[in-house]
Amino acid sequence: MSDPIMRPVVQETLENEGYTVLPAADLGTAVDRLKEMTPDLLIIRSYVESIPGYEAARYLRTKCPGIRVLMVGGLMDDDRLRHPMMLAKIDIFPKPFTAASLIEKVKEVLNEPL
């Protein structure tokens, strides 16, 4: 899993559940990681470096086609964001959430067909 600018608590939660997490501090690092490996899931915030998360995810998918994407963050109830995310087949997980609900959502997304 990869997440540009993943929060440490999210990383710790996923690692405690047995997932390998490869955080990326920025889009450039995420691109470099995607050149080296194909993660099962990209977890991305609703905004990355002032770019809407769905645009960042769309860009990262050009480097790793077919990757599953889970977007976490605030402002997820905004229809201007929801529509492009649905078109891009990006799963949405709004804040606030608990560790248990995060794990449940990750498992759900990983079990979805590509």
54, 84 contact by CB (below 8 A): yes
- pLDDT of 85 reads 63
Local confidence pLDDT in tens for the 114 residues of the chain: 544 445 678 889 999 999 999 888 888 999 999 989 889 999 988 878 788 888 888 899 999 988 999 988 765 555 556 666 665 678 888 888 899 999 999 999 999 887
Tokens of residue 77, six digits: 């109830």
| Domain boundaries along the sequence of the chain | 2-106
The topology under which CATH files domain 2-106 is Rossmann fold (3.40.50)
Strand-pairing partners, residue 4, are: 24
Where b means 16+ CB within 10 Å and e means fewer, 60-81 reads: bbeebeebbbbbbbeebeeeeb
